[in-house]
Amino acid sequence: MIGQAQLIFWIGMKETLLFPISIAPMMEWTDRHYRFLMRLFTKNTILYTEMVTADAIIRGNRDKLLGKNRDNPVVLQLGGNDPQKIFQASKISLDYGYDALNLNVGCPSDRVSDGSFGACLMNDPNRVVDLMIAMREGGNIPVSVKHRIGINGKETYEDLCHFVETISVKANVSHFIVHARIAILGGLSPAENRSIPPLRYEDVYRLKEEFPHLRIEINGGIRDLQQAKEFLTSGIDAVMIGRAAYENPLLFANADDMFHEKDSSENIDWNVISDSIEKYLSDHIANDGKVHHVLRHCMGFFHGVNGGKKFRRFLSETMNREPKNSKLFTQALQFIQQ
Ligand SMILES: Cc1cc2nc3c(=O)[nH]c(=O)nc-3n(C[C@H](O)[C@H](O)[C@H](O)COP(=O)(O)O)c2cc1C
């Protein structure tokens, strides 16, 4: 699937990071508990953390912000606009065992724009060059940029090309994750910015044609793995899925088989899964955690499937009431089988 020229270009990248499917960074959603749960279904899908700002890493509780389970391959997404701080944060993150680092150049929120990072950095490709160089020097692991196809005022395909070319040439970055819609800064909320600006997949295809040596990963509005496969067979290098992965985690149950070109799709062994979750919950409770921190991410299990509503109702009625009950997931499964 991978051409020789690309292989040479990506020679520095770990093989695990070449799996063509990833789950997008999502604040409040892709925390360590969600990633633990996703690893029960897929070993190879590349997972992303929520965005963590460089300032938070430098000044905050590092173990809390960066501590992770053994859920590799995982990419840490950083936010920031000061190369010194990105360097420092990347260096600090080294101790935590991430496989790669990613810079957020796609977040449109006012808070993030006021801090002059996120999507507004598309206005300043040379700043992104400095940030990417700092990230690579600090972390010494593969780096990538996640960005939009544009922002208001800089929304043409030519603007997008200029952005990608500047960063790939001046910072020698070879992996670009492109959310295929522009962000409208100062006008729309983050949620609206994920649905109102139209998707322009054609811009991402053109980008891949124009820069065949770069790893171009497409993101935005992709609902399932079949659709992902179509992008891959049409020449896009990788596909990142966000909301659909959260709303319906079981989508990923046959990702490993599907993208290793095998036909077999293993059935999910719910006994193994519920044992693992119970053990994880016991450990979490022993560390003073509450079960809803973990189980809130299970609400999308059985999405659109018989028993799904019953399962969600059981969990939402019990997980706050019984914060120390490590058997709740198992009990929810038993409840839907009755
Ligand atoms: C709740 C939520 C939080 C998000 N947080 C981040 C974030 O921290 N960093 C980021 O780059 N994108 C973030 N995004 C955007 C997603 O990564 C993704 O680009 C977007 O949802 C489009 O992909 P999708 O249509 O597959 O969901 C977030 C999206 C959602 C729904």
Number of domains the chain is built from: 2
CA of 26 to the centre of ligand 1 (A): 5
Which of 202, 230, 258 is where one domain is finished? 258
Residue 307 token pair? 């028993």
The active-site residue out of 107, 120, 161, 298 is 107
Please check whether residue 176 is in contact with residue 133, taking contact to mean a CB–CB distance below 8 angstroms: no
Residue 253 lies in a domain: yes
Residue 154 token pair? 């800089």
Q: Are 250 and 276 found together in one domain?
A: no
Residue 190 token pair? 């983050």
CA of 226 to the centre of ligand 1 (A): 20
User: Ligand 1, atom 22: nearest CA belongs to which residue?
Assistant: 220
Residue 73 lies in a domain: yes
User: Ligand 1, atom 11: nearest CA belongs to which residue?
Assistant: 104
Residue 243 Cα: closest atom of ligand 1: 27
Q: Are 280 and 194 found together in one domain?
A: no
Q: Are 249 and 316 found together in one domain?
A: no
Q: Are 41 and 175 found together in one domain?
A: yes
Which of 258, 290, 323 is where one domain is finished? 258
Q: Are 314 and 250 found together in one domain?
A: no
Region of 221 please: left (phi>0), alpha (psi -120 to 50) or beta. Answer: left
Residue 141 token pair? 């692991």
Nearest-CA neighbor of 243 among 36, 34, 17? 34
CA of 179 to the centre of ligand 1 (A): 9
Residue 264 lies in a domain: no
Q: Are 115 and 215 found together in one domain?
A: yes
Q: Are 178 and 93 found together in one domain?
A: yes
Q: Are 149 and 288 found together in one domain?
A: no
Indicate the residue type of 117: F
- The 10 Å CB-count burial string (b at 16+, else e) for 283-295 is ebbeeebbbbbbb
Sign of CA dihedral 156, 160, 166, 169: negative
Q: Are 164 and 36 found together in one domain?
A: yes
Cα gap 223→241, rounded to integer Å: 7
CA of 80 to the centre of ligand 1 (A): 17
Range of the domain at 304: 270-337
Please check whether residue 131 is in contact with residue 116, taking contact to mean a CB–CB distance below 8 angstroms: no
Residue 52 lies in a domain: yes
Q: How far is CA 187 from CA 56, 79, 148, 182, 196, in A?
A: 27, 21, 16, 12, 11
pLDDT digit of tens for each residue in the chain (338 aa)?
Answer: 445 545 545 555 667 788 999 999 999 999 999 999 999 999 999 999 999 999 999 999 999 999 999 999 999 999 999 999 999 999 999 999 999 999 999 999 888 878 789 999 999 999 999 999 999 999 999 999 999 999 999 999 999 999 999 999 999 999 999 999 999 999 899 999 999 999 999 999 999 999 999 999 999 999 999 999 999 999 999 999 999 999 999 999 999 999 975 555 567 899 999 999 999 999 999 999 999 999 999 999 999 998 999 999 999 999 999 999 999 999 999 999 88
Q: Are 248 and 285 found together in one domain?
A: no
Which of 202, 229, 258 is where one domain is finished? 258
Residue 263 lies in a domain: no
Radius of gyration for the alpha carbons in the chain, expressed in angstroms and rounded: 20
Residue 8's CATH number: 3.20.20.70
CA of 51 to the centre of ligand 1 (A): 10
Q: Are 139 and 90 found together in one domain?
A: yes
Residue 199 lies in a domain: yes
Residue 245 Cα: closest atom of ligand 1: 26
End-to-end CA distance of the chain: 46
For the chain, counts of helices (H) and of strands (E): 16, 8
Residue 29 Cα: closest atom of ligand 1: 1
Q: Are 177 and 295 found together in one domain?
A: no
- Ligand 1 neighbours, Cβ below 6 Å, are 24-27, 29, 50-51, 77, 104, 106-107, 146, 179, 194, 219-222, 241-244
Residue 299 lies in a domain: yes
Active site residue 107: yes
User: Ligand 1, atom 29: nearest CA belongs to which residue?
Assistant: 26
